[in-house]
Chains A and B, each alone.
Chain A
Amino acid sequence: LCFPCCTHSPYSQAFLTPSSSRVFVVRRDQDIYIHTLRKLFNESHGIFMGLQRSEEELAGKSRKAQLVQVSKNYRSVIRACMEDMHQAAALKLGPAFLQVSILSAMELIWNLCEILFVEAATAGPLLLRLLDWVRLHVCDVDSMVRQVLSSESPSKHKLFWNVVDVFVLQGRMDEARHLLSKEASANPASMNMYKILDDLMKKMPVPSLGNTQTLTELELKWQHWHEECQRYLQDGTFASNPHMESICKILLGDEDAILEKKELMTTWYHFLVTRLLYSHPTVKPMELRFYAQSSMDLFLGGESSPEPLDMILMAAFEFEMHQVIKECSIVLSNWWFVAHLTDLLDHCKLLQSHNLYFGSNMREFLLLEYASGLFSHHSLWQLGVDYFDHCPQFGRVYLELHIERVPLSTEQKALKVLRICEQRQMHEQVRSICKIMAMKALRNNRLGSALSWSIRAKDAAFATLISDRFLKDYCEKGCFSDLDLIDNLGPSMLLSDRLTFLGKYREFHRLYGEKRFAEAARLLLTLMTAHIAPCSFWMTLLTDALPLLEQKEVIFSAEQTYELMRCLEDLTAGNPDKQKFQDDDVETTKVEMLRLALARNLARVIVKEGTVEGS
């Protein structure tokens, strides 16, 4: 397994162009931008959410099974991603290859953490799990096996004994015996020797997953078997065949014999597991660290210094969870791994609240980093939201700050962002988003849309602004635009006074158009007397009253006429700029005409009301 030798900091830099202008794109989390990894982020998001939802109440075993399942799901996502990258790499070598190796390292570490921390396998099953782990990750063997098996006579193949050794080293006894039987049938002379070895391999006691045998029982059996092997070795039973002798030595857990097969094991952790298998099959989790340390020392033999991956695995064997996470965050180029692993371990209740200097725990810190990275991505930001949701302390603040900065290219996107904010009662952000959209609409001269947005935000000031634009347009053009909206304001009309006025004024026009004059007149008057209409608009309203006053039948009652006259006088008297009326001929004429009409209406109404009451 190769590992990135350069250390990526989370704020790594990527060259945009290798030119002298030196433009750097500084990105939070480089891996976020790798196309094939988007699957990983999306799929693991689903698992993450499932884990957060899962019931804490599930007691003991079933809870553990659930968590192990979650862990396996995470791993299978990583594996799926690797598979995709293999396909990508088949097309073009290069960065994809590096990515695959990083992913496989992640999976290796995760798997070990799963065995040691999540599942917390006990002595016995622990070894079986570790064997599985090695078999899964050291798999150069398989091509070798295929080569040997596909040859005409496997036993004559030059790699034959290598393959047998590998099987033995990985504890795959059945496969090893199967191969040996081929050799035995080709070599009837030494049949007896093969039989003995075969028998030894068959009889080797292994820990069982079920509770059918106790550890002491196993140890006893194992001791017995060990002595038997010892006996055969001393007898010189295998002396004639060096291969078989070395296998027997391996079975006895002879470190030198195992170390001789260094090339076949390739890694120190393989050596560790093999060593445990043949000398300490009932190793306890807490003893692992001693064997791990000595295995690494023996295997590397001072020739090479341990690489970061070795250090991480070692930390895991030492049960230093924090160390594992720390090393991983330093070495890996993404936050995905540490954030999800830490979250899982936290759900296992393994990370005691390890408070950081800024007051949040490690799980939250890593999730925040990861989610912030997602938010910096133009498309993955939606995933980040859910991660922030599960950060009790700072998630909300982070979300508030990030969500406001999501570019709103279309209304649909705005609606999605808005929904996120509304679900979380983030009123400030809702207002701000609606305002942005309303402003955009206003700039595009889409008054209707702008009004809709400000109504959604319950932004009274902005609604007033837009209503004024509508009224201004009306004064200029003499007709309303966007009738379909204004006619259907409904209760949202009450958002701002000006909007109410706009709606009511339009209603007046509708009533007038439908020739419901009495109602129209009453509404018109109310608009002024209840001070719904802005003063600047009174003159227009009064002018609107003119045709009503001039109708054949009397519409305004005496009382209403007095009110109208009062309004007119208020307007002319209240206006400090009296000059304006005198200078402006049109205005003066208008006032005069109004006065005349009002007076005539008053006369008619007095007569009418008198008559009606008299009769």
Chain B
Amino acid sequence: MSCKGDTRTQRSRGGGPAEQTGNTAAPSRLPLFLPLPTRPATDAEPIGAGAAARRSQAEHSAAPARPGNRGQQAPPGSYKRRGRLSAAPGPARTRSRRAPGLSLRARRRAAANQRARRGAGGSGRGAGAAMEDVSAKFVSQKISRTRWRPLPAAALQPPDVFATGSWDNEDNRISIWSAGDLGNAGLNGEYHGEPHLLCDIQHNGDVMDMQFLDQERIVVASSTGTVTIFRHHQNNQTLSADHRWAKAHYHVDQDTSCGGAACTGVVCNNPEIVTVGEDGRINLFRADQKDAVRTIDNADSSTLHAVTFLRTTEILTVNSIGQLKIWDLRQQRNEPSQIFSLAGDRVPLHCVDRHPNQQHIVATGGQDGMLSIWDIRQGTMPVSLLNAHEAEMWEVHFHPSDPDHLFTCSEDGSLWHWDTSTNVSEKPSFLHQGGRSTAYLSHSTMNQSVVSAWLSNDPTKDRMEITNLIPNQTLSVNSLDVLGPCLVYGTDAEAIYVNRQLFA
């Protein structure tokens, strides 16, 4: 990455969260007394057979961050670790001497306090709950996409239902899950903390992307090039295919048996659906119309990897030669209205997301794990390049209601939480006041200071806290979704994880 040209371009170099310290501690096992149908566990020794031990086990082995060791993660990023600072924030001067660009610091939390706050439950169970906000479930299929069901406008509850799609199976499935209640131990020793399956349906080909159209309908992009709308019938918990656009994406020889080209990305803005694919094609569908409303053939000479809405009539696409393109769907011209690109090395971009409030701020993630922030009002190059993951960044998402927070996940098996909300120390953060109930925010007051959080160049101000939420994971985290205080992610290790207290 020689010249980035742009003087504003900043880049932090260096290893990822390599220096992880904690987590060598053995997981505490819970003794349990769990009635099994034929083989009751009379487990006197402290290994456990049942769900709780298994749960703690699962969480250990695929160890999502627990409050205890989260603080000990090294900041992913380049600058020297200045871990222990944030517990008692040091004087600003110490941080500002860093080179222009990101200031990173490790986050250290008083884990004990958190434990005390929450761990009042029953003996074994309470300990378990306090130990983990994250519940995991092994689902025997590699997960390519996870998506929360959108909440109704007036909802006060945290999100509960989410959908997953699998890939690389002989038999791929779309599944709807309930994240389950936190803290309510169920009957029969069943733990409600664990996500449980509501219903699922078979899907042809790998699930490449998926998105909720509304509360009931999910649009799924398949590796066969087909785009399908599934309907989730909530009264009897079933899934059915509502509508299907077969081979919406295809290669020249459409007639051959394998003429379909993978549909790599889908984005919805009810009733409009936009899909992109390996064939470089952009399709615009309407949920209520049989045929495509608009198709841009050869929109891109390389593979389009992802798409998102910029405004209601404009979309953003990223492709495999490092370009970010804006398309205005009102124009009949089959050409992008603007092209941005990573100068020089043409690193493929895999994901894109737009700031929910400030539409000119766009984040993309690339093959080298780099996070790029773009200001589409100006320039043709990213405003900042942040060295992040060690391998492909598969998804990037701004927090929908609190865009100071950004989440990225990667092939290297990590999931990072980027937090710019702390950069003005005197600013009160609603999120950090604690409980889940306060986590829904309207951000009119925060926005003034946040405007520049992602674009700012002021070295004294733009501090970013970066936390790796999954230490020691080895297999790819393919997808994440975040809504309210809840995060869900799925991995190639065939597990889904739900973190219900993201900002705890």
Contacts and interface: CB of A to CB of B under 8 A. Distances in A.
A35 B168 contact: no
Nearest to B344: A490
Nearest to A36: B140
Contacts of A143: 40
Interface residues of A, number: 68
Interface stretch (B11-19, B52-60, B152-160, B450-458): B52-60
A482 interface: yes
Main DSSP-derived SS at the B contact region: loop
Contact of B36 (A54, A83, A412): A83
B301 A481 contact: yes
Contact of A90 (B37, B473, B494): B37
B50 interface: yes
A410 B278 contact: yes
Interface residues of B, number: 76
A445 interface: yes
Given A79-B49, A86-B37, 18 more contacts: A42-B493, A43-B58, A49-B472, A69-B26, A76-B49, A76-B53, A80-B54, A83-B49, A410-B206, A412-B262, A416-B492, A446-B251, A481-B301, A482-B301, A488-B322, A490-B344, A490-B345, A491-B344
A379 B172 CA distance: 11
A374 to B, nearest CB: 13
A136 B38 CA distance: 13
B430 to A, nearest CB: 36
Given A38-B494, A76-B53, A132-B44, A43 B62 contact: yes
A608 interface: no
Interface string A448-482: 11001001000000000000000000000000011
A83 B54 contact: yes
A396 interface: no
A445 B303 contact: no
Contacts of B36: 83, 86
A534 interface: no
B399 interface: no
B61 A46 contact: yes
12 contacts: A49-B474, A53-B472, A77-B57, A83-B36, A86-B39, A412-B208, A419-B411, A446-B280, A452-B321, A484-B339, A488-B321, A492-B345
Contact of B392 (A55, A415, A491): A415
Nearest to B29: A72
Contacts of A447: 301
Given A43-B62, A485-B321, A449 B302 contact: yes
Top 8 closest A-B pairs, CB basis?
A448-B301, A482-B301, A46-B61, A444-B251, A80-B54, A38-B140, A79-B49, A39-B138
A61 B22 CA distance: 19
Contacts of A445: 251-252
Contacts of B300: 448, 484
Nearest to B26: A69
Contacts of A482: 301
Contact of B253 (A47, A383, A423, A444): A444
Interface string A51-83: 001110000000001100100110111011011
Contacts of B384: none
Interface string B235-260: 00000000000000001110000000
Contacts of A139: 39-42
Nearest to A413: B168
B135 interface: no
A514 interface: no
A55 B264 CA distance: 41
A382 B475 contact: yes
